[in-house]
Structure 1
Amino acid sequence: MDPDEEMRDGALSPTAAEESDLDEKYPNRPQNHSSTLPFHDLFQTLFRPLSEIKKKPAGPLGSRRRLGPHGLSGANLNPFEKRRDVIERFISRWKKEVGDDIYPAFRLILPDKDRDRAMYGMKEKVIGKMLVKIMKIDRNSEDGFNLLNWKLPGQAAASSMAGDFAGRCYDVVSKRPMRTEVGNMSIEEVNEKLDQLSTASKEEEQLSILAEFYRRMNPEELMWLVRIILRQMKVGATERTFFNAWHEDAENLYSISSSLRRVCWELYDPNIRLDADDRGVSLMQCFQPQLAQFQMQSLDRMIGRMRPTEDDPAFWIEEKLDGERMQVHMVSDASAPGGKKFRFWSRKAKDYTYLYGNGIYDEAGSLTRHLKDAFADGVDNLILDGEMITWNTEQDAPEPFGTLKTAALSEQRNPFRKGIHPLLRIFDILYLNGRDLTRYTLRDRRNALQKAVKPVHRRFEIHSFEEVTTKAEVEASLRRVVAEASEGLVLKNPRSLYRLNERHDDWMKVKPEYMTEFGESLDLIVIGGYYGSGHRGGNLSSFLCGLRVDEGQSTQGSNPAKCYSFCKVGGGFTAADYANVRHHTDGKWTEWNPKKPPTKYIELAGGDSQIERPDMWIKPESSIVLCVKAASVSVSDQFRIGLTLRFPRFKRLRMDKDWKSALSVQEFLDIKSNVEQEHREKEFNVENFRKKRVKRTTKKPLAIAGYDESSEVKYAGPSGHIFDGLNFFILTDSNAPVKKSKAELEKLVKANGGKFYQTNNAASDTICIADRRTVKAASLQKSGNVDIIRPSWLLDCIRQNEVDAGLPDLLLPLEPRHMFFTTPDKKEEISSNMDQFNDSYARDTTVEELQDLLKQMGKTNADIACSPQAIEKLTEHIQERVDVGWTMPSGWLLRGLTIYFPKQNEDGPSSENPLPQQSHRIQLSRNIARFAGATVTSSLKESSITHVIVGPNTLASEVSILRKTLSTRERLPHIVKVDWIEESWKERAILDEERFQPSRKS
């Protein structure tokens, strides 16, 4: 991330003036009577004890607690109570020895919740390089190598620290410490130095600060400092535990303010509770917004959660936008230029006012300078909730999320030029003229929004919604957004209140999935491996899988044992699966050398940049085949073929297959083409052309037309039958990329199989060609129902088919650069034929275009790295983490599943409950399922059941009855033994159900 941006994202260390402002803002802020505790007290009395509790296994649930003379007996506390006891003891000691202001300590205890300190711009690799310099060790020595390659197993004692960077730092520093006893730095001093580190813009400044920490701390102190800098504490206690120990209202206040400072300064007295007025949103105070619930597997069930009634059966549908969640605060202020002040915050509580503007006349305001007349008379203050997206004025269509910061910066420099700029789509209002509206229904809030805001075209708009009552209407809307390549839908209950910092069923996401017809699984070749972190550290925990390249298909020449990268798989493996993979690949792995990549065997995306480069690689002919299932296929520039799998999960090891029988690139594309016929073959239509064209869904290997003199394109004479069956009306000559007269263009059309006429009505399906606004062209444009294409499209089609000599003649998809005039219904389709860098999916790049493309890619990649994460979707974020070796969060493991457990029925089987009374294991598994996020039901009438659990003593005949009961369902649930839940919980991964099917034999 760009340090300049990080400095703006977080507040800097308070100056004297800022301290005065804080005193004014918090007149009753607590004051400490003594100096802060030494830094080493933090890990000795808090971090270390919490970590030890985390390591110890929990005792039996429901164990009784004994009361001693001083409260609960420590020997009989469960882990949660032990953690709370440790935290409360630390808080009590702080108040007694230091004072009521615990904010300095909480900034170090919960560093990821501290919004007042900027990001450091330092991750593991940077810190590792600095420590190597500070300790003056050879980077190629054992310790230097272990520090810079912290995910690798390492040697000797370092192998136990693999995957734990802070632990690896401790291992290396403890061999050459500046001091063995704990240091004398206080918590206040550490905070001051960390403030300096967060504002340091040069490596030399960062190096000197880190060197001082090294001189004044022992190895264990430095280890915890590294964790604070990385904001990865891992002490076994969440912020909720700390907040609840501090004050009963602390978690609630943080939800509505995102301010650790407010939590510490306003709630230091446990006897003073939050007033009712303090429990809602406040002007110019960031809050945690309401989030949409994740998609359920049954649309009927989702609609039922909208709680329709006979009097009010309606619910709302909104298009899901591909942007960044943004809250806008506006206050009328006579002293401000333009009379209004603004603040902008993202969902992650990052302040973006510097980007979008603090006032009407803010020269840096890419949005606010357009909002002079955006509010109705009488509106003095308000808070809006919406989505900030990028809008392309030339195409009159939204752009991908990754272009948002680029658009804002471009708008700052050239505020009224055509191109891309930020657009705020508002879907809620939470505060109006001093009144908190979160307690009003969505329908009432929408009415207030319509009256308070005056939309500014393509700058500041109210997001539209559709009121529906049936499932069919939702499905029709979903089909529409699928066709328009939209993000999906959001269902909203118009009778609902706004719930701060909650993910509730009143808002539910509906996203299209395309993978259901692809079958259960794909057989992929393992071509690379990535070392994990945490308990998977030191071992390959996720794998790069590839598709086999058929002979002659590779850009590097013919090679029968070659693969293109396709996806990463890290979920679904058990310890036994990992052992099996290691057994069959032992001794076959090679460390990846970026300077000498194994392009003879493996091709990654990005060419020399080697995107998704693995830590280790293996020859395809020596590797294994994994059976993988996934949610869907999506476009991705991170993998060689331009596509990848969403949420891939390991199913089983295919020892019956070798690399020759695994899935090839062409076989996969054939499967995809057959399944998604409407996406593979679309009608090339300006006014319903009779000729169809094939739209390539993956990019060809990058080739530069005209780079070699021997491949110089000649436009005279036929090159095939590319325009067979097409009729043209050519209005003008060609100006670019080469000059050609109208007559020459007509000859080219005829030479390539097309027909030309002197009017657009002379034949059906006539394609109109023009490069200048003549009288005829202006007349057609004014009619508004005819697309006019530039001659460059004709020339590109001919050029491409000369380059692709020997292949079937294909018309190129239209690109925005090909269009002289575009009808509204064609704009979305045409814009989809280009990637985010405006590079064609089907046409080879010219030298000039490549130069511009590389410049644009460099800018865009930097912006993506600087901006907040493009994906604010928690499920995708979690899955990405799992794919690289992280453990699935316990409370998320079975989310989205509906599991049937038989009722306790001592009277024997029945139609409602075909199984007899089950064992204690069933009861325990039921509790595990609930804790892991699954929906648990005891009724077979539930239509959304995905899994049915049978006990260890269930007879085959009883299972047969169960299967017969379920056989009439449209969607058959998995019938699995109770071991499936137990083993999945143990491995923290959803395991393949086929391994746990009950026997069919009696």
Structure 2
Amino acid sequence: MADDDTEMRDSAAIDEEHMMYGHGTITEEELNEKYPNRPHNRSKTLPFRDLFLTLFNPLNDNKKKPTGPVTARKKQGPHGPHTSPNEIRRSIIERFISRWRKEVGDDIYPAFRLIVPEKDRDRGMYGLKEITLGKLLVRMMKIDKNSEDGYNILHWKLPGVKHSSAMAGDFAGRCFEVISKRPMLTEPGDMTIAEVNELLDRLSVAQKEENQQPILEEFYERMNAEELMWLIRMILRQMKVGATEKTIFDIWHPDAENLFNISSSLRRVCWELYDTDVRLEGDDRGVSLMQCFQPQLAAFQMRSMEQMVAKMNQTEEDPFFWIEEKLDGERMQLHMIEDDSVPGGKRFEFWSRKAKDYTYLYGTCFEDDNAALTRHIKEAFSDGVRNIILDGEMITWDPEQDAIVGFGTLKTAALSEQKNPFSTGHRPLYKIFDCLYLNDVALTRYTLRKRREALTASVRNVHRRLEIHEYLEARQASEIEPILRQVVAEASEGLVLKNPRSEYRLSERNDDWIKVKPEYMTEFGEALDCVVIGGYYGSGRRGGNLSSFMCGLRVDETHVSQGANPQKCWSFFKVGGGFRANDYAELRHRTEGKWIDWDSKNPPREWIELGGQDRQYEKPDVWIKPEDSVVLSVKAASVGGTDQFRMGATLRFPRFKRLRTDKDWRSALSVSEFLALKSRAEDEKKDKQFKVDDAKKTRSRIKRKREVMIQGQEDDVKTPYGGPTTQVFEGLNFFVMTEALKPVKTTKADLELLVKANGGKIVASEKHASTILIADRNLVKVASLQKRGQSNIIRPSWLFDCVKQSELDVAQPSLLLPFEPHHLFYTIASEAGKYDGNVDEFGDSYTRDVTVGELLTLFNAMPMQLMDQYDSAEMLDQLNDHGHGLDAMPGCMFHGLTLHCEGVSHETRRLLEFAGGRIAEALDDTTLTHVVMSPNASSKDIRKIVASRERQPRLVTEAWVSDSWHEKTLLDEERYAPS
């Protein structure tokens, strides 16, 4: 920096900068060398209190306000009469950034480290979780751990413990309650943002509790309760201030998010993009040596192989696509540069896809005695390779079996290799599939084929330590399936299809790479990742706890009005099967204190829409905001239409697969994404449609009646269904003589309004021959018309049914329903029996959707001989067909499954048969669904036998049977796949 610029800066600002950047792993001189044009602040940083007084609290207040166009229109105040919450959010952030630039300078990095602490890769982890922090605070404030306050901090997850307030489930909020009773300061302290950063740097280095406590005590002495609450959230990296890092980045600089995606460096975002007039161009938008980037990702499997191959953009000159085996490891990037200061002259850094630095584990140089990898790859690079960036997968290799070991063993294998580098135990193996940088040239703009040429010219295989990942060239979709079956037989994870003509696209998931897993070969892919929006309390052994959950789909911009809550969800399905006890425990832990009782009179429409609109079908006992919730991975047999959920569709046989702790509501499945999946699936099914004969239709109708009874929906209609205004009665005259008695009592005036609203005309008498007479009681006028015997008299229930069916039948919204016997209050002699054919033998309508109450009436009137026709096998099949959760009934848990037992105990076989499973004595049974194996059975041999089958059975260990029986639900088979 020039001398005159230095003179313009406060001495306090210079001292602050030395304090913040003058110690640690990177010296200030090194920072100046690496970032020669980095900005320097003119003045001291703002007080720490200003972060929450002018930024966090206003953002949180804005978050709590209802959103939507009505609210936006009515909004009054300093932000203007038409300001939306999103505009207010941006205004709050812009004001803070503008003030920082004006009063402090262009180096906002100190503030961003505290605003988005989860994005700060430069500061190490503190090693502090809630329980450890709680112990330190109790000790620091000299509170008895068994006192009310001590207990509440140490048991912060439990709601309502010892008169605790609504802060239950919020550790920082619970701490605020306790600290407020014994603060060192009642008003905000005088600590600056720079001082807080300096102390947090020391806290991250201290690690041990005895070294961390003095630092926390200094915070306690210089901050009030609210400041400490925000500090704790920063330490836990759980801010939730009502604005995403994307919003904050966009307001700071239009290229900020892009630079963070390719560098994972908050420091670089702040120091290279402080001038909004300077934009990223060319090489600045790409990878850099020794800077972590967000890698390209593979798109999800499409429905057919042909669709996937079509995305490969083959040409006559180059008709090939590549097929690679999908590896079960951890995505890893390797950076290497020449550095004479390290032994061997080459320096390495390793980062995972999540930007975690693994250099400490895999090695810094060839001579690193703690390296699990680099000391074994001295011969890996060709002569002349000065620097390089490689993209690949770090996997675990078993030298004795010469085979890949499951992903969960990777870190253990690496730590073992550090201690004993020449053992024959499990070891890390780096499989390389791309080269992105070579000798000062970024290769991301080159095609995959060119990058592969650079890779093979620059890297040599080191047997079972570092190897170039092989691929096969193919032309036709038919070439994929045999390779997929081969890798399945070898217990591999699947395949990746790649377009050799494609560039490398940082931080993108696109069709140039498409992954194919065997379990993806279902109607809607491997699984659906949906956000939990509601919960239902269980009974029996699950009494008092949530036992099943409503999941929803995010309402994205295509399906939501401008200004609506971006977290709004539509109800989609309920899931209660497949959970283990520890799954419930984990879910409770992550949502503790965040559930809200469902209020039917004031439902949370801003957040959740249920089926049936005001009828609130499938309403949960409690609900939860998506931002406070979790994402479940659920698999299902298929999707079926229904009016019980807002989506108009729901999953059949949904089963919990796993909790997606790596996802939040933003990355859960949206309405548009699901509709795209559904559209693809329906296109595939068009050629497989078939006709059902009349006899089968009749049986189906009787089945449907039974199913409703099994569901146990016994709610009667409590309000007349007026529906939207339609034209269903257009051109018709009505003479309404009495009120309606059923389905609910409705006045004569309201009936007339209903007719008018739906296109009909009300007349004052019955004189016109075409007038429809409406009555539900035998008053004088009604009796007089019956005596004449000239016209039928229709019950008001026919009006309600017509309007309702008009709304449901989009194809023919103005089609009148034919009269049914129960619609007629009086029938003239010449038309006696005329309308009996509009219902079946039990009175069920052929032309409209009956209500639950009507069906119950029909059931009660059905003759008893129907019970003589009951077929237990048919009933079980019916339950299976319609997804009523047989696996929740222990005696039917394995019904519909055909299982072959390989070396399992006699008790396991008996249990399978007792719970409805069919035992297949041979592996060649064409209906085989599962192979249950003892721990000593060889999965490799069995995989080879079943690999050629069109429908491959699931291989599970014997524990799957016993655990499913113990948990009283079928558990996900993938958890019990044999090694």
Decide: shared fold, TM above 0.5. Answer: yes
Residues 24 and 224 (structure 1), Cα distance of their counterparts in 2 relative to 1, 3 Å cut = same
CA contact (8 A) 2:396 2:406 kept: yes
Residues 182 and 199 (structure 1), Cα distance of their counterparts in 2 relative to 1, 3 Å cut = same
**Which residue of the other structure, out of 368, 373, 392, is the alignment partner of 2:398?**
392
Q: Counterpart in 2 of 1:663?
A: 888
Residues 318 and 259 (structure 1), Cα distance of their counterparts in 2 relative to 1, 3 Å cut = same
1:389 Cα deviation after fit: 0.6
Q: Within the alignment, does 1:79 sit opposite 2:88 as a pair?
A: no
Residues 430 and 419 (structure 1), Cα distance of their counterparts in 2 relative to 1, 3 Å cut = same
Q: Counterpart in 2 of 1:478?
A: 484
**Which residue of the other structure, out of 813, 838, 846, is the alignment partner of 2:936?**
813
**Which residue of the other structure, out of 25, 29, 35, is the alignment partner of 2:44?**
35
Q: Counterpart in 1 of 2:696?
A: none
Match runs of 1:210-221 below 5 Å = 210-221=216-227
**Which residue of the other structure, out of 344, 350, 357, is the alignment partner of 2:363?**
357
Question: Match of 2:355, SS?
Answer: coil
Q: Deviations over 1:48-77 (max 9, x none)?
A: 1111222223342998999x9xxx964433
1:698 Cα deviation after fit: 12
CA distance in 1, matches of 2:313, 2:70: 36
**Which residue of the other structure, out of 352, 371, 375, is the alignment partner of 1:369?**
375
CA contact (8 A) 1:34 1:99 kept: yes
Q: Within the alignment, does 1:237 sit opposite 2:243 as a pair?
A: yes
Residues 15 and 813 (structure 1), Cα distance of their counterparts in 2 relative to 1, 3 Å cut = closer
Q: Within the alignment, does 1:262 sit opposite 2:262 as a pair?
A: no
Question: Match of 2:422, SS?
Answer: coil
Residues 396 and 507 (structure 1), Cα distance of their counterparts in 2 relative to 1, 3 Å cut = same
CA distance in 1, matches of 2:106, 2:140: 38
Q: Deviations over 1:664-714 (max 9, x none)?
A: 567545655x1xx5xx45xxxxxxxxxxx44689999xxxxxxxxxxxxxx
Match runs of 1:435-834 below 5 Å = 435-513=441-519, 527-528=541-542, 529=545, 663=888, 667-669=892-894, 671-672=896-897, 674=898, 677=899, 680-681=900-901, 693-694=902-903, 813-814=936-937
Counting matched residue pairs gives: 629
Residues 288 and 345 (structure 1), Cα distance of their counterparts in 2 relative to 1, 3 Å cut = same
CA contact (8 A) 1:544 1:569 kept: no
CA contact (8 A) 2:577 2:888 kept: no
Task: Kindly provide the amino acid, as one letter, of the partner of residue 32 in structure 1.
Answer: N
CA distance in 1, matches of 2:657, 2:904: 16
CA distance in 1, matches of 2:188, 2:583: 49
Larger Rg: 2
Residues 122 and 699 (structure 1), Cα distance of their counterparts in 2 relative to 1, 3 Å cut = farther
Question: Match of 2:213, SS?
Answer: helix
Q: Within the alignment, does 1:318 sit opposite 2:341 as a pair?
A: no
Residues 425 and 482 (structure 1), Cα distance of their counterparts in 2 relative to 1, 3 Å cut = same
Q: Within the alignment, does 1:304 sit opposite 2:529 as a pair?
A: no
Match runs of 1:386-425 below 5 Å = 386-425=392-431
Q: Counterpart in 2 of 1:24?
A: 33
CA contact (8 A) 1:545 1:567 kept: no
CA distance in 2, matches of 1:697, 1:292: 45
**Which residue of the other structure, out of 51, 57, 67, is the alignment partner of 2:66?**
57
Task: Kindly provide the amino acid, as one letter, of the partner of residue 114 in structure 1.
Answer: D
Task: Kindly provide the amino acid, as one letter, of the partner of residue 813 in structure 1.
Answer: N
What value does the CA root-mean-square deviation take over the aligned residues?
5.3
Question: Match of 2:211, SS?
Answer: helix
CA distance in 2, matches of 1:93, 1:811: 68
Question: Match of 1:254, SS?
Answer: helix
Q: Deviations over 1:824-855 (max 9, x none)?
A: 989x99xxxxx99xx997999xxxxxxxxxxx
Q: Counterpart in 2 of 1:928?
A: none
Q: Within the alignment, does 1:48 sit opposite 2:71 as a pair?
A: no
CA distance in 2, matches of 1:566, 1:157: 25
Residues 526 and 416 (structure 1), Cα distance of their counterparts in 2 relative to 1, 3 Å cut = farther
Question: Match of 1:491, SS?
Answer: strand
Q: Counterpart in 2 of 1:685?
A: none
Question: Match of 2:323, SS?
Answer: strand
Task: Kindly provide the amino acid, as one letter, of the partner of residue 42 in structure 1.
Answer: L
- TM-score for both structures, normalised by structure 2: 0.56
Question: Match of 2:127, SS?
Answer: coil
CA contact (8 A) 2:72 2:85 kept: no
Q: Counterpart in 2 of 1:690?
A: none
Q: Within the alignment, does 1:348 sit opposite 2:573 as a pair?
A: no
CA distance in 2, matches of 1:546, 1:288: 34
Q: Deviations over 1:52-105 (max 9, x none)?
A: 222223342998999x9xxx9644333333222221211121122112211110
Residues 566 and 53 (structure 1), Cα distance of their counterparts in 2 relative to 1, 3 Å cut = closer
- TM-score for both structures, normalised by structure 1: 0.55
CA contact (8 A) 1:698 1:841 kept: no
1:378 Cα deviation after fit: 2.3
**Which residue of the other structure, out of 301, 310, 313, is the alignment partner of 1:295?**
301
CA distance in 2, matches of 1:254, 1:14: 24
Residues 105 and 696 (structure 1), Cα distance of their counterparts in 2 relative to 1, 3 Å cut = farther
CA contact (8 A) 2:261 2:293 kept: yes
Task: Kindly provide the amino acid, as one letter, of the partner of residue 201 in structure 2.
Answer: D
Question: Match of 1:388, SS?
Answer: strand
1:480 Cα deviation after fit: 2.8
Residues 263 and 661 (structure 1), Cα distance of their counterparts in 2 relative to 1, 3 Å cut = closer
Q: Counterpart in 1 of 2:831?
A: none
Residues 31 and 633 (structure 1), Cα distance of their counterparts in 2 relative to 1, 3 Å cut = closer
1:31 Cα deviation after fit: 1.5
Farther off after superposition, 307-316 or 388-397 = 307-316
CA distance in 1, matches of 2:73, 2:444: 42
Residues 88 and 546 (structure 1), Cα distance of their counterparts in 2 relative to 1, 3 Å cut = closer
Task: Kindly provide the amino acid, as one letter, of the partner of residue 198 in structure 1.
Answer: S
1:33 Cα deviation after fit: 1.9
Match runs of 1:844-923 below 5 Å = none
Runs (5+) with no aligned partner, structure 2: 1-19, 528-535, 550-566, 592-606, 611-615, 624-649, 662-668, 675-706, 714-878, 910-921, 923-931, 949-954, 963-973, 975-979
CA contact (8 A) 2:79 2:88 kept: no
Q: Counterpart in 1 of 2:760?
A: none
CA contact (8 A) 1:526 1:545 kept: no
Question: Match of 2:333, SS?
Answer: strand
1:386 Cα deviation after fit: 0.3
Question: Match of 1:377, SS?
Answer: coil
1:237 Cα deviation after fit: 1.4
1:305 Cα deviation after fit: 2.9
Q: Within the alignment, does 1:137 sit opposite 2:146 as a pair?
A: no
Question: Match of 2:367, SS?
Answer: coil
Question: Match of 2:166, SS?
Answer: helix
1:497 Cα deviation after fit: 0.9
1:545 Cα deviation after fit: 6.1
**Which residue of the other structure, out of 149, 166, 171, is the alignment partner of 1:165?**
171
Q: Counterpart in 1 of 2:200?
A: 194
Residues 514 and 823 (structure 1), Cα distance of their counterparts in 2 relative to 1, 3 Å cut = closer
1:283 Cα deviation after fit: 1.3
Residues 630 and 302 (structure 1), Cα distance of their counterparts in 2 relative to 1, 3 Å cut = farther
CA distance in 2, matches of 1:580, 1:171: 31
CA distance in 1, matches of 2:433, 2:60: 44
CA contact (8 A) 2:143 2:150 kept: yes
Identity %: 56
1:411 Cα deviation after fit: 1.5
Residues 252 and 811 (structure 1), Cα distance of their counterparts in 2 relative to 1, 3 Å cut = closer
Residues 574 and 156 (structure 1), Cα distance of their counterparts in 2 relative to 1, 3 Å cut = farther
Question: Match of 2:496, SS?
Answer: strand
